[in-house]
Structure 1
């Protein structure tokens, strides 16, 4: 045990990376082969298919609406929820749709869509009748309305009126409010009180049982969309047909996602130019510009590209679905994924030439390995938290980002580092710096000292503290005041044809008719007066709710059946055929404890064309017993309601869990409690700033904003981890009079100088490249890309301010005794000084090389 503890005392994270770098430098070819093997996974992209689930993909898996949907599916005996395709019919001349010729055309189109329109799926011809189930005749009231209005128009003295919202025809109620919208009424006509109808809405409900049925219904819905578009474009047709459905929305989202490919190419081109330019400038600064710099620059840009293709290929190979949000991922990874490469290349150029390639690579990873590992690990954890969250579409996006960032880090180690090792062969051929290079170096060092001196002062600390209070106040205010609002219209492509029907549905259909389905999950004996009264009182309680339109608008099969049972006998209707099963029973008499009705005429009732739509609301089994009443509620848009209700608590929970994980990871890698606390508070500060100022940028809390918050938390680690890690370094190497010297960093200013020298330029490089990647999306003008552009812009602004200004100033005011505290000191009795010295034996292994040249350059 003592031997084990002795080994632990000699362990340090930086030393581990030093050994790892030396290992890569000795066998670079092996790591290049490993990279080539991983690159082969990109071939899986060949089978990539985009598929979205807009309807419930953003709803929590444990939400109340999902439980209600499960109960509804069990009630229907279905594997999926009822799926609805909505067709809106409008007159091209903006006239009323209740004109008889327009009504005739509308009915003709409904019959065609219901009975004749078909599509071929897997060699099978599929029409609406294939999967409509009990909903096949849900649009029959439009046919009856047309027939009744025609009869009344031709015979004005007929003893009925076709009134809105409920027409009373031969003892039956015809509900028109479910199909006619934008209706103006009056009493000028003896035929009907309707003066104007803006649109007719027809709902084609599907009773899908399996995934195969869902695919067939989706194909049919797309066929309806194409048919209605062609019909509307025909100038000879008087009507315009607009269609809206989940499959159509998903397809349009996918089409719009593919439009981002040119913008990705533009962003990649911008980033490519920036990488070559900035790395070239760094090489010029260090007087080491050779053709191998081009190889290094190309590798830097290749790393995020390979991470993206490997992620998409592997996801496809394992059967994961790719959604539209995943196509935002390449823009993020192209910017974020190159940050580690910038740090490694900057350390490679800054490193002295006295070592072998392996030792030099070891020193590079000793300096940057822990910090880039910390940022990658925390980024990955931030996205994994989102991946294990309760919403499916966000989980897919977060898993893709976590995988891509992981591959980006792996390729940095297995591809860039071996390339740096090979390119180091050319390092000794570096030319003597000219006067301009020397002047640039002197100016940069003077500027670095000036900035460090200002940030280390108490005056800067108090100014930044006051400014920070203002910033935090607005950030917290904006975050708290951000409203949770789910607007499907926002996520739709700006030029998609389904925007218009969606707005009409919101403006007219949902405003005038928004049905809620109440499910009685246990069968009842309607002949028992107590059970009968319990059910009726339950219905009446719903109808007394303030937002309920009342009993006249309730579609309740029992009321219609009771009227049929007591008023009209089965012999008065001849709508059922020979195969209709009739439940036989004796005539029910009004007895004590009995309601006076039973199920004996139910089969006849459901055979009526006016009443057979009630089959969709009944689960018939005459052998069931009758336990107590148990009810639940289901609504076709319940998923969206839950999304809106859960957004704020879900965002708060996700942010808290992510910050706690950031704290734990930073504690493992940074190891100094004070630095970890300041780093975590900085992450929280950046996140509050991003989210708060997004609200001032006219954004509301929705699933897309939630994704962007996760990005801001993960990306903010890049700014604080590098700064806090390098500020803890108490010694550095310098060449003084041609000799390698270890200099103690014993003042806050010296530590800030060393920190800014190592991280400022690569941090600026990385964040500027991120902006260049995403800025082309502004021209797309769609909501989802714009949210990410705004988020990343704020992350870059506030992150650079925290990482290079505020956090260094706060660290400079902390006493060195607190900064020197290390977890290893308490766990294994090892001080931070001994930890730094334990892996410095290799410093003296190789004699100095060309130190006079370095001295002149300095």
Structure 2
């Protein structure tokens, strides 16, 4: 009975110890996860908010493709953000719990092995001393031989262990060497950025970069080419090439609809119609009157020839059908449209025919066609200008309700809206980013530096793409909206970590480190993750350059520019600006602290 009771007590004690150990491990994991969330939560939230806001602004654009693209990306980023806090975080905690148990088990094994080695060494020393004391003059004791044998075995085991440790420790040594030289380089790099001469050179390069980017930005042009949506060796490319080469430069057709023509019998109304057609034919790019298909001209010739011909065929029909000449004049338009060589004009005219055949039909609406020419019409932007000229002429006759139809007008109408939409989206996005950063950073220089860096990245992407010959089309607009969102990540991370590094927890205005140490801590904690993220993005995007498609290459170029410019901004320009602003602020604080208050001496008379 006593033995069973002792066993139960031992089991309960072990369970209590295990329960306490599990509690301690859970507290440790909770503390680790809390530290991780505190360090990364603000950065993740800044990135998510800025990206979602950037795509939310793009969701209000009138272009359906860009709207769908922006909505999809905003929803995806939101889902990823929720996934990080609800699924990814608990998964890390579970795997961290297992890893922590493995580490603790390894530590316990090492402690046990160390105790066994210590006990063996103590027992060996005692046995060797006793054997040495019991030696005889005639020879060596047997215990001494056993001691030397055990000593040889231990030395062999130690050699094997040292070989394993050397193999396992090569990676650790390699890491330590790399970390050592990286720390030296990082310290030298931070010290160099804090130098005035280096800062002047960085600002000079930044000025040249901004000038080149603005030159390309102001030279950007909006263009739309349907062949950019297909592969280079597609049959549709050949069809579009033949059309642009042999049709559009010589005969660009325009259909003009007159929706409220008025009273057909009034001569003044017909004069307005002729004036409208003449204005279209007077455009510089117009082919001329022979390219215009206008039914009224044939009708007037028909009536004039009928009046001049004394024995007109219709006069015989009048007596045959019993129609008076006055009724015949009222039905001249109907007779004109029924004449065999003029029947095709029925497709150009819409009439309201009365129930009584003797009454005059009413003209509801009609249209005519005209054409333009020019080598510049191969470009869609020039065709959009021609469409605007046609619409300008149509708008000069509001009483007729004239409208212009062009086969590709729905695509041409996108061209003049691209630049304003892009500018509007960029400005709204920058404003949203400013307010998002304001939620996490109260330091005005940090806010200004982060927003200027985002602005410089955006103009660099647009300007360099323009210098590379990329026109502003819906594809480039979509990539640009995404680039605005991605351009936030690196500046926001750098500025936020610099803002938090070296600031005391109790008072955010009290610095506990100088500028160089703050920059060193900031880059030591975030420079490698930024480089890793940038290089991984470049590697993933580089495969798109192998696709012979305009859409893929524009997206790849845009992402490459965003990553490269963002890395240069985050690792070179922003640290330099932070050093200069922070150093000036610290100098001002030192000057204020060094001011000595006047001392009043009381003189005893």
TM-score normalised per structure 1: 0.48
Change beyond 3 A, Cα 1:436–1:641: closer
1:383 matched to which residue of 2?
A: 55
Deviations 1:404-431 (A, max 9, x none): 2222222222222111111222136448
Kindly state the Cα deviation for residue 815 of structure 1 after the two structures are TM-superposed.
Answer: 3.2
2:522 aligned to 755, 770, 783, which one? 755
Aligned to 2:548: 781
CA distance in 1, matches of 2:423, 2:223: 16
Alignment correspondent of 1:587: 326
* Residue 702 (1) aligns with residue 473 (2): yes
2:74 aligned with 1:402: yes
The one-character-per-residue Cα deviations of 1:232-286 (angstroms, maximum 9, x if unpaired) are xxxxxxxxxxxxxxxxxxxxxxxxxxxxxxxxxxxxxxxxxxxxxxxxxxxxxxx
Q: Which residue of 2 aligns with 1:631?
A: 402
Indicate the SS of the match to 1:728: helix
For 2:35, the equivalent position in structure 1 comes to 363
Q: What residue is the counterpart of 2:188 in the other structure?
A: 450
Indicate the SS of the match to 1:765. Answer: helix
Query: Which deviates more from structure 2 when the two are superposed, residues 381-390 or residues 647-656?
Result: 647-656
| Match among 393, 405, 412 for residue 84 of structure 2 | 412
Tell whether the 8 Å contact from 1:675 to 1:724 is kept in structure 2 after alignment: yes
* 2:533 aligned with 1:794: no
2:305 maps to 1:567: yes
Match of residue 52 from structure 1: none
Worse-matched range after superposition: 483-492 or 701-710 = 483-492
CA offsets, 1:23-80, max 9 Å, x none?
xxxxxxxxxxxxxxxxxxxxxxxxxxxxxxxxxxxxxxxxxxxxxxxxxxxxxxxxxx
How big is the shift at 1:439?
A: 3.0
- Who is 2:206 aligned against? 468
Partners of 2:408 and 2:295 in 1: how far apart? 23
Q: Is the Cα contact below 8 Å between 1:745 and 1:751 reproduced in 2?
A: no
Does 2:260 align with 1:522?
Answer: yes
Contact 2:258–2:403 at 8 Å: present in 1 too?
A: yes
Q: What is residue 333 of structure 2 aligned with on the other side?
A: 602
Residues 757-772 of structure 1 correspond to what in structure 2 (within 5 A)? 757-772=524-539
Q: What does 1:477-496 align with in structure 2 at a 5 Å threshold? A: 477-496=215-234
Deviation, 1:455, is: 2.0
| 1:691 equivalenced with 2:455 (yes/no) | no
Instruction: Check conservation: 1:521, 1:630, Cα contact below 8 A.
Output: yes
Cα deviations by residue, 1:295-323 (Å, 9 ceiling, x for unpaired)? xxxxxxxxxxxxxxxxxxxxxxxxxxxxx
2:485 aligned partner? 714
Give CA deviations for 1:786-809 in whole Å, capped at 9, x if unaligned.
001111111111110001111111
Q: Distance in 1 between matches of 2:334 and 2:42?
A: 75
CA–CA distance in structure 2, aligned partners of residues 419 and 728 of structure 1: 30
String of CA shifts for 1:367-423, please: whole Å, max 9, x gaps. Answer: 111111111111111111111112111111111122222222222222221111112
Over residues 510-551 of structure 1, what are the superposed CA-to-partner deviations in whole Å (9 max), with x where a residue is unaligned? 111111122212132121111121221122122111111222
What is residue 100 of structure 2 aligned with on the other side? 427
1:477, CA displacement in angstroms?
0.6
Task: Provide the C-alpha distance between the structure 1 equivalents of 2:54 and 2:270, rounded to a whole number of angstroms.
Answer: 54
Once the two structures are overlaid, the 10-residue window that deviates more, 648-657 or 376-385, is: 648-657
Q: 1:614 to 1:645 in 2, by over 3 A?
A: farther
Q: TM-score, with normalisation over the residues of structure 2?
A: 0.67
User: Aligned partners of 2:173 and 2:416: how far apart in 1?
Assistant: 65
Distance 1:761 1:561, change over 3 A: same
Offset from partner CA, 1:78-136 (integer Å, 9 cap, x none): xxxxxxxxxxxxxxxxxxxxxxxxxxxxxxxxxxxxxxxxxxxxxxxxxxxxxxxxxxx
Query: Cα deviation per residue 1:139-182 (whole Å; 9 max; x = unaligned)?
Result: xxxxxxxxxxxxxxxxxxxxxxxxxxxxxxxxxxxxxxxxxxxx
Separation in 2 of the partners of 1:750 and 1:585?
108
SS of structure 2 residue aligned to 1:701: coil
Change (3 A) 1:588 1:562: farther
Structure 2: segments with no counterpart, 5+ residues: 1-24, 108-168, 315-320, 355-361, 365-397, 505-509, 587-605
Separation (CA, whole Å) in 2 of partners of 1:609 and 1:769: 73
> In structure 2, the residue corresponding to 1:804 is in which secondary structure?
helix
What is the aligned counterpart of 2:351 among 600, 620, 623? Answer: 620
DSSP-derived class of the 1:524 partner: coil
Task: State how far apart, in whole Å, the 2-side matches of 1:761 and 1:537 are.
Answer: 72
Between Structure 1 and Structure 2, how many residues are aligned? Answer: 440
Choose from 240, 249, 252 the match for 1:511. Answer: 249
CA distance in structure 2 between the aligned counterparts of 1:427 and 1:370, rounded to whole angstroms: 26
Q: 1:568 to 1:650 in 2, by over 3 A?
A: farther
Question: 1:754-773 deviations in whole A, cap 9, x for unaligned?
Answer: 21122212212222222222
- For residues 359 and 607 of structure 1, the distance between their equivalents in structure 2, rounded to whole angstroms, comes to 93
Aligned pair in 2 of structure 1 residues 408, 508: CA closer, same or farther (>3 Å)? Answer: same
Q: Distance in 1 between matches of 2:345 and 2:437?
A: 61
In structure 2, how many angstroms separate the alpha carbons of the residues matched to 1:361 and 1:620? 79
Secondary structure at 1:404's aligned position in 2?
helix
User: In structure 1, what is the Cα distance between the partners aligned to 2:69 and 2:177?
Assistant: 48
1:666 aligns with 2:397: no
The 1:366/1:607 distance shift into structure 2, 3 A limit, reads farther
Q: Which SS does the other structure have where 2:285 is aligned?
A: coil
The 2-side partners of 1:376 and 1:586 are apart by: 82
Question: In structure 2, the residue corresponding to 1:619 is in which secondary structure?
Answer: strand
Residues 613 and 708 (structure 1 numbering): CA distance in 2 closer, same or farther, change over 3 Å?
farther
- Distance across 2 between alignment mates of 1:449 and 1:546: 68
Q: For 2:252, what is the secondary structure of its paired residue?
A: coil
- CA–CA distance in structure 2, aligned partners of residues 729 and 699 of structure 1: 40
Write out per-residue CA displacement over residues 197-251 of structure 1, whole angstroms, 9 at most, x where no aligned residue: xxxxxxxxxxxxxxxxxxxxxxxxxxxxxxxxxxxxxxxxxxxxxxxxxxxxxxx
Call closer, same or farther: CA 1:496–1:555 in 2, change over 3 Å. Answer: same
Q: Is the Cα–Cα contact under 8 Å of residues 456 and 752 in structure 1 kept in the other structure?
A: no
Q: Deviation of residue 447 (structure 1)?
A: 2.8
Q: Is the 8 A contact 1:674 1:818 kept in 2?
A: no
Query: How far apart in 1 are the matches of 2:564 and 2:351?
Result: 63
Residue 501 of structure 2 contacts residue 521 of structure 2 at CA under 8 Å; is this kept in 1? no
Q: Larger Rg: 1 or 2?
A: 2
Contact 1:730 1:744 in 2 (8 A): no
Q: Does 2:580 match 1:813?
A: yes
Change over 3 Å in CA distance of 1:800–1:561 after alignment to 2 = same
Change (3 A) 1:693 1:641: same
The equivalent residue for 1:121 is: none
Q: CA deviation at 1:745?
A: 4.3
SS in 1 for 2:529: helix
1:126-165 mapped onto 2 (5 Å cutoff): none
The 1:507–1:411 alpha-carbon spacing in structure 2 relative to 1, beyond 3 Å, is same
- Per-residue deviation at 1:753? 1.5
Distance 1:796 1:609, change over 3 A: farther
Q: Which runs of 5+ in 1 are unaligned?
A: 1-352, 574-581, 590-596, 734-742, 820-858
CA distance in 2, matches of 1:391, 1:513: 29
CA RMSD between the two structures: 3.0
Q: How does 1:36-115 map to 2 (within 5 A)?
A: none
Q: Using the TM superposition, give the Cα deviation of residue 459 of structure 1 relative to its aligned residue in structure 2, in angstroms.
A: 2.4
Aligned equivalents of 1:637, 1:818: Cα separation in 2: 59
* Residue in structure 2 matching 1:675, options 446, 458, 480: 446
Q: Secondary structure at the match of 1:534?
A: helix
Q: Which is worse superposed, 607-616 or 673-682?
A: 607-616
Distance 1:773 1:585, change over 3 A: farther
Q: Quote the Cα distance in structure 2 between the aligned partners of 1:355 and 1:455.
A: 41
- The Cα shift of 1:558 comes to 1.8
2:64 pairs with 1:392 = yes
